[in-house]
Amino acid sequence: MKGSWHRRLKRLNIATHRDVGYFFSSLIIIYCLSGIALNHVNDWNPDFIIQKKTIEIHEKYSSKELTVEVINSLGKLVGENKFKVYDTPTSNRVKIYYENASLLIDFSDGVGIYEKVSRRPIFFQSNIVHRNSLKGWKWASDAFALMLIIISVTGLFILKGKKGISGRGKWLIAAGGLPPLLALILYEVL
């Protein structure tokens, strides 16, 4: 009697581990990609690609001479044909705003700086999910965290014997706790 109960529990444990693992595998990969990107936020922008281009302006205008036609002609130099708004911060400068881009021109030195911002594919969307930027997503994220705990705990009991938790498994679990513990000690957090 005890053997059949134990076998059913073992089959349930394996099935739970397998099915929950399969179900959440895509989300695990999304969180891993986002985690890697966010770990290197000081090295590169994980959300956006910012392209900068310097151009030479041969015509000189003052802020009083700027018209819609002039603004449109300046936009054509960088491949933009529809501006949203423009501003003249000084009498010899103009900043033109486009959809996801801007062009700052200094007529005194004839230099324009064009900046275009675009979403970094896959990482932008992954980071939104990972940072809980979607309304109500924190509850899905909490459920996901609980499921990761279930995947981890059920995985502990799949193998028996010297390769399972009672054998080398306990040593691997202990070894897996060492890197964060050492980091906390080295950075004097404990």
pLDDT for 104-113, tens place per residue? 999 999 999 9
Say if 168 falls within a structural domain.
no
Residue 2 scores a pLDDT above 70: no
- Is residue 68 domain-shared with residue 114, that is, in the same domain? yes
- Is residue 128 domain-shared with residue 108, that is, in the same domain? no
pLDDT value of position 62: 86
Say if 65 falls within a structural domain.
yes
Report yes or no on whether pTM surpasses 0.95: no
- Is residue 39 domain-shared with residue 29, that is, in the same domain? yes
- Is residue 21 domain-shared with residue 107, that is, in the same domain? no
Residues 70-87 pLDDT 10s: 999 999 999 999 999 999
> Residue 149 — very low, low, confident or very high, per pLDDT cuts 50/70/90?
very high
Q: How many domains does the chain have?
A: 2
CB atoms within 10 A of CB 150: 14
- Is residue 37 domain-shared with residue 20, that is, in the same domain? yes
- Is residue 70 domain-shared with residue 154, that is, in the same domain? no
Say if 110 falls within a structural domain.
yes
Residues 18-56 pLDDT 10s: 999 999 999 999 999 999 999 999 999 999 999 999 999
Full domain range(s) for residue 31: 2-45+121-158
- Is residue 113 domain-shared with residue 139, that is, in the same domain? no
Say if 180 falls within a structural domain.
no
- Is residue 39 domain-shared with residue 72, that is, in the same domain? no
- Is residue 54 domain-shared with residue 95, that is, in the same domain? yes
Q: Dmax over Cα atoms in the chain, in whole Å? A: 94
Say if 171 falls within a structural domain.
no
- Give the C-alpha separation, 69 to 75, whole Å: 10
Burial class of residue 114 in the structure, from the number of CB atoms within 10 Å of its CB (0-12 exposed, 13-18 middle, 19+ buried): buried
- Give the C-alpha separation, 113 to 186, whole Å: 45
